[in-house]
Amino acid sequence: MTEAEIGAAMGIRRGTVSSTLRDAYRKLAPSLADAPIETKGTTP
């Protein structure tokens, strides 16, 4: 979904969606940087 679609579905402005996503990405970034990358369909 686009930010505009999310905003319409939730009854909020696209800018609010964008801001909330940006804040979430910033909070998650340190955790995601340390997480191993999963690849499906590969064998060792």
Q: What is the total count of domains within the chain?
A: 1
Q: Is the pTM of this model over 0.85?
A: no
Residue 44 lies in a domain: no
Which of 25-32's residues contact partners 24+ apart within 8 Å by CB, and which partners? none
Q: What is the pLDDT, as a whole number, of residue 42?
A: 61
Q: What is the pLDDT, as a whole number, of residue 44?
A: 57
Q: What is the pLDDT, as a whole number, of residue 33?
A: 82
Domain that holds residue 19: 3-33
Q: What is the pLDDT, as a whole number, of residue 40?
A: 78
Residue 38 lies in a domain: no
Residue 21 lies in a domain: yes
Residue 12 is given by DSSP the state S
Residue 41 lies in a domain: no
**Tens of pLDDT, residues 4-41:** 999 999 999 999 999 999 999 999 998 888 777 777 76
Q: Give the sign of the dihedral formed by CA 21, CA 10, CA 13, CA 6.
A: positive
Q: What is the pLDDT, as a whole number, of residue 36?
A: 76
Residue 35 in tokens: 């997480």
